[in-house]
Structure 1
Amino acid sequence: MELLEQARAEIDAVDAQMAELFERRMRAVAMVARSKADSGKPVFDPERERAVIAKNTARITDEALRPYYNRFLQQAMAVSRAYQRELLGRGTAAYQGVEGAWAHIASRRVFPFARQMACKTWADVFEAVSTGKAEFGVLPFENSTAGDVSAVLDLLYGHPDLSVCGVYDLPIRQDLLGIPGATLAGLRTVVSHQQALSQSAPFLRAHGFETKVWGNTADAARYVSELGDPAVGAVASAETARLYGLQVLAQGINEDGDNTTRFVVITRTRSEDIPVGEGQRIALLFTVDHKPGKLAQVIERIGSMGFNMESIKSRPLPHVQFEYYFYVQLICPQRAAGQSCRTLLHDLEAPCRTVRLLGVFDHETLCDEEGVTV
């Protein structure tokens, strides 16, 4: 017991020093924010962050602690970015849906300190960002089982004033929720969005539950909470359960345990001179003449410069029958730099009718509030 008390006293002493150092660090962060306000630079500078994390992680002499310190620094950087955005008035993130919807959950995990703005439609999210009512918009872009969200891609194509600044994968785990005191044996009816019910159909059938289609998973949870009937449950997320005062009766009931939704974060374009590093993603929109070999030329030039094409999608070109525009997501090669990106864009001007840099960003998997991948 004496050893435990000694360890706790040491931790308290270190925490007191860290609190003083945290205030000192955040005062310096505020100075950085003022500088970025004057220069118009974006808050997120991935090359600078990677350099700082690498330099400071190397200072840890205990190799076993280095990965933990690396994670500590990543979280410190995220807090610093959030503080800068607040100081710069860049603290609003827009999403489509209601509180507890998957887009809301994604937005809260990407921007935990931002004010969340609910919008009725995806077009309203674009409008909010385009007009400056929100700095960021968080939108579903692709689902691992249902495929592309084509309407969002079309909205991106139709908004040349906006760019993509992040792509995040959110693993979707559907849980069965009920009011406090409800039991799995006592449930009779389950409500949720059609897709959530479909993904959880084997589990629901096995228990003999009647199902009722609802507008979305979060609103289904709200309905169950307000109804107060222990015989009625909802398929939604555990985070939605906390929001509406429900309990989780069964975890991970969706059949596809790997079901994941990819979200894009949009913002107003600031500059195309964005730092690019190895492993980062570049998103491009382009069109080509409707002639043999034109698309192949684009793909060949991308490959010849060492960029790995991670994704390619085609969509009907507005107002031009049976012609298409293309979206590609590329992984930057080793020793990639901003000049590599500019050279690629220049080289693609020849085979492309139009080419547009949609964004440069990191591709991450979202974690829950405790830092655990969900």
Structure 2
Amino acid sequence: MSGLKIAYSGIEGAFAHIVARRLFPEEGFFSYKSFRKTYEAVESGECDMAVLPIENSYSGEVNDVMDMLFDGKLYVNALYGLPVVQNLLGVRGSRIQDIKKVISQPKALEQCDEYIRSKGFEALQATNTAVAAKQVAQMEDMSVAAIASIETAAIYGLKVLDEQINERDDNTTRFVIMSRDKGCVDIPGQEKSFITVFTVDNVAGALLVPLQIIADYGYNMKVLHSRPLKRYKWQYYFYVEIEGDVTSEMGQKMMSELESACSFAKALGPHYGE
């Protein structure tokens, strides 16, 4: 691939930007202020790929992104798991004992809550970790630190005051890489999987039917989530990640049965990754 335009949420140094650089090191990167704007940039043809977070192992799914997968037209081409290591970043010359306030994205603050409380820091919110780092760099205040990645520290010229301050060392955020077409990303060594989203009638046993169809075809469900349908009160859609190739003959037959059994069903394309 060459000359692709990769959209990501946040600013330079955000985790989505880090993932974009790792997967597409030779391509062009374009930042957007929100998940919605990032998604729409690809839907409209302004960019070719979107990189957005879908789930964190510590704080759960990213609901807005999951809802866009259900409502939108883009296909998922890859899932990429980024180990999230949060660090305390200050301006040059600062020390841990100087810090009174920390700035970061709400989920990052949550992931480091035990550390923050143990140090007696006041926690302030920013839209994402990279914005927090940029703010600290611009403030040049030795009493204020950001919580962000080491890559972000390098981008904004900050000093790493303390490393790996998140409570769990298995903290991972998964990102979806989306495009207008199927099968645009090939990750060597990764197995194919796919995501399907569907709705069922609100009657007893309705959910069992699509789950049984998936099982009857021998597919393994890795993830199952339910999310409210915002346009219908007390109704839900289901998000399922399944191991296997949906483009195979068996995969196509299974999807045909799902579409018949559900009030709505679609596959978001085959993808590589976790």
Normalised to the residue count of structure 1, the TM-score between the two structures is: 0.67
Q: Give the Cα–Cα distance (whole angstroms) in 2 for the partners of residues 353 and 287 of structure 1.
A: 6
Match of 1:110 in 2: 23
Most deviating of 284-293 and 256-265: 284-293
More helix, by proportion: 1
Change (3 A) 1:287 1:187: closer
Contact (CA 8 Å) 2:9, 2:31: kept in 1 or not? yes
Decide which of 156, 170, 173 is 2:69's aligned counterpart: 156
Task: State the superposition RMSD in angstroms.
Answer: 2.4
Q: By how many angstroms is 1:320 displaced?
A: 2.7
What does 1:212-231 correspond to in 2, within 5 Å?
212-231=124-143
Q: TM-score, normalised by structure 2?
A: 0.90
1:125 maps to amino acid: T
Is the Cα–Cα contact under 8 Å of residues 294 and 351 in structure 1 kept in the other structure? Answer: no
Aligned CA distance change for structure 1 residues 230 and 331 (closer, same or farther; 3 Å): same
Counterpart residue identity of residue 197, structure 1: L
Distance in 2 between residues matched to 1:355 and 1:209, nearest whole Å? 48
Please list, as runs of the form range in 1=range in 2, the aligned pairs for 1:18-33 lying within 5 A after superposition: none
Cα distance in 2 for residues equivalent to 1:144 and 1:156: 19
- Structure-2 change in CA distance of 1:153 and 1:210 (3 Å): closer
CA distance in structure 1 between the partners assigned to 2:198 and 2:113 by the alignment: 40
Structure with larger RCO (C-alpha < 8 A, sep 6+): 2
* Aligned length in residues: 271
- Unaligned stretches of 5+ residues in structure 2: none
- Give 2:45's aligned residue: 132
Aligned to 2:97, what secondary structure does the other structure show? coil
1:306 and 1:332 in contact (8 A); partners too: no
CA distance change for structure 1 residues 154 and 197 in 2, over 3 Å: closer, same or farther? closer
**Residues 5-16 of structure 1 correspond to what in structure 2 (within 5 A)?**
none
Q: For the Cα contact (< 8 Å) 2:259–2:266, is it kept in 1?
A: no
Aligned counterparts of 1:196 and 1:295: Cα–Cα separation in 2: 35
Contact 2:108 2:147 in 1 (8 A): yes
- Does the residue aligned with 1:166 lie in a helix, a strand or coil? strand
Which residue of structure 1 aligns with residue 250 of structure 2?
340
List runs of 5+ in structure 1 lacking aligned partners.
Answer: 1-84, 365-374
Deviations 1:282-334 (A, max 9, x none): 1112222222222211111111111001111222234333222221110128x
Indicate conservation of the 8 Å contact 2:190/2:272, yes or no: no
Distance 1:150 1:198, change over 3 A: closer
Aligned residue in 1 for 2:210: 298
Alignment of 1:281-360 (within 5 A): 281-332=193-244, 338-360=248-270
State how 1:1-374 maps to structure 2 within 5 Å.
Answer: 85-86=1-2, 89=3, 91-159=4-72, 161-270=73-182, 279-332=191-244, 338-364=248-274
Q: Tell me if the contact between 2:190 and 2:273 (Cα under 8 Å) persists in the aligned partners.
A: no
* Max Rg structure: 1
Deviation of the 1:360 alpha carbon: 0.8
What residue identity is the alignment partner of 2:56?
A: N
1:197–1:355 distance in 2 versus 1, CA, 3 Å: closer
Kindly provide the amino acid, as one letter, of the partner of residue 144 in structure 1: S
Q: CA deviation at 1:116?
A: 0.9
Q: How far 1:279 sits from its partner (Å)?
A: 4.1
Deviation at 1:278, TM superposition (A): 9.5
Matching residue's letter, 2:149: S
Deviation at 1:215, TM superposition (A): 3.2
Give CA deviations for 1:245-268 in whole Å, capped at 9, x if unaligned: 112111001112222111111100
1:133 maps to a residue whose letter is E
| Cα distance in structure 2, aligned partners of 1:261 and 1:141 | 8
